[in-house]
Amino acid sequence: MPSVFHRPFSRPVRFETPDTSSESGKPILSYDLLCLHNFQRKDPDEDISLDNLDLIQSFTHYDDERWFVIIHVAIEAAAGPAVNACPVAQQAVIDDEPELLQETLDTIARSIIDVTDIMEQMTEGNDTSVFANEYRPYYDGFDEIYFEGVDELEGTPQTLRGGSGAQSSILPSIDATLGIKHDATEMTEKLGDMRSYMPPLHRSTIETLDSGPDIVEYVTEQDRDDLWETYNRCVSNLEEFRDVHFGQVIQYIREETGDTEGTGGTDYMSYLRKMEEETRESRVSENL
């Protein structure tokens, strides 16, 4: 059954009902629609790589937009080994298999480096001004939208977040597996809400990983230098990813718009920095 938005458009626009637009069920362009379901391989017989990726749909004709999206797609592919290794690492802790844990942590550490290498290429094909002024506005969310004709919402205005890498399951999965904790802040609250924009399987995978074993305790209990060194390599590589990401937030948002606050007044600069610091502090000490 079609429904109608009556803000912020000047005239009513018809949209699909909330449960048909994306896997998450949110009637907005979420990350899965923008990136995970919006790419094709130029050569179907070749692997996913920046050279072999193209978009299916874009808002503009700018190649910068294509580059921005395919960077995310290539990152998701490069993170595959890490995300696949997460449940294996937790099972290794449960089964008391330090050798297997060592191998899977090594896989996670290497995979994060590949992810960061791709992230660093963002600036090669995505001009900061084109990003800020030409196509990013199309990814924005909406505040206070009324869905007429959707009885379940009982006329309550809805806020919908725009598509963002913060809706990717990569970092929450790795944080959960490595036991990296973030203090509750406005940002973590927002990121918690971002999970409702993920495909259900991604969401439930993160929830399962969140309730997994305490890997830090296990690593510190083992009398194995290689284990804590590899664990710390994972943490350092993740910190490095967050650092590179933070640099891009400065370049693409703060330097372009002068803005340090996201939608809803969240001071994302200091909160992102805090998450990076919390990552660094998760390193285990060799003297434990």
Residues in the site for ligand HEM, rule: CB under 6 A?
71-72, 75, 119, 122, 164-166, 168, 170-171, 191, 242, 245, 248-249, 252-253, 262, 266, 268, 272, 275
Structural tokens at position 231: 């664990």
Select 73 or 105, whichever has its Cβ closest to ligand HEM: 73
At closest approach, how far in Å is the CB of 224 from ligand HEM?
Answer: 29
How deeply is 171 buried, as exposed, middle or buried, from its count of CB atoms within 10 A (0-12, 13-18, 19+)? buried
At closest approach, how far in Å is the CB of 80 from ligand HEM?
Answer: 13
Select 104 or 173, whichever has its Cβ closest to ligand HEM: 173
Alpha helices in 95-162 (DSSP H): 98-119, 122-125, 128-130
Contacts of 17 (CB under 8 A, 6+ apart): 1, 2, 3, 27, 147, 150
Cβ 4 vs Cβ 13: under 8 Å: yes
Select 158 or 220, whichever has its Cβ closest to ligand HEM: 158
CA angle, residues 201, 205, 211, in degrees to nearest 5: 150
In 3D space, the residue among 164, 177, 165, 163 whose CA is nearest the CA of residue 83 turns out to be 177
At closest approach, how far in Å is the CB of 158 from ligand HEM?
Answer: 18
At closest approach, how far in Å is the CB of 283 from ligand HEM?
Answer: 17
Select 224 or 274, whichever has its Cβ closest to ligand HEM: 274
CA angle, residues 66, 35, 157, in degrees to nearest 5: 115
Select 165 or 199, whichever has its Cβ closest to ligand HEM: 165
Residue nearest to ligand HEM (CB): 165
At closest approach, how far in Å is the CB of 237 from ligand HEM?
Answer: 13
At closest approach, how far in Å is the CB of 32 from ligand HEM?
Answer: 12
Select 228 or 252, whichever has its Cβ closest to ligand HEM: 252
Structural tokens at position 7: 């803000």
Structural tokens at position 184: 């509750």
